[in-house]
Amino acid sequence: MCTATLAENAEGYQGCTSEACNFVHYENPTPVVGAIVEYEENSVILVQNVGWPGHWYGLVTGFLEKHEHPDEAVLREIEEEIGLKGELIEFRGHYDFKQMNQIIMIYHVKASGPIIKGDELADYKVIPIEKAKGWGAATGIALDKWLLEKRGY
């Protein structure tokens, strides 16, 4: 901001070296919402964002809009990405995703009806709950935890 150089400060953050300036580059995590979408009778919906490798599928996720509550953001993202009006069932907790410096707020949402793929998605999959499987990072861990409670394995 003031064009002076940054250096590590006493708290371990990069801070401005100018006496007159209080700038600290805190790199606060970005809040993100994510949805375990339970679809119709016995399925979940996983999505592939544009630009992801062809074998990657994940939860519906997205950033919050200005002043938007996460409860609203998660339902908006579901509608944008897969064209469904979801019903919020339960907040499932916060999961940190260190690689992206994000805190992901995970919800269980129920939805039904015809799926309409939005522009942000390359693809989506409807997977029977008995065959669904998480993966070893934030949203995948949240999915595995939910699957374990839902079906017992």
b/e for 86-105, b at 16 or more Cβ within 10 A? beeeeebeebebeeeebebb
Using CB atoms within 10 Å of the CB of residue 148, give its burial: 0 to 12 exposed, 13 to 18 middle, 19+ buried.
exposed
Select the residue interacting with Zn ion from 21, 50, 100, 116 (CB under 5 A).
21
- Residue placing its CB nearer to Zn ion in the complex, 15 or 62: 15
CA nearest to 35, candidates 127, 124, 108 = 108
Q: Considering the rule CB under 5 A, would residue 7 count as an interface residue with Zn ion? A: no
- Beta bridge pairs of residue 25: 14
Per-residue contact string for residues 22-61; x = within reach of Zn ion by CB under 5 A: -x--------------------------------------
Number of residues that bind Zn ion (CB under 5 A): 6
Question: 128 to 147, contacts with Zn ion by CB under 5 A?
Answer: none
Q: How far is the CB of 2 from Zn ion (least distance, A)?
A: 3
> Contact residues for Zn ion (CB under 5 A)?
2, 4, 16, 18, 21, 23
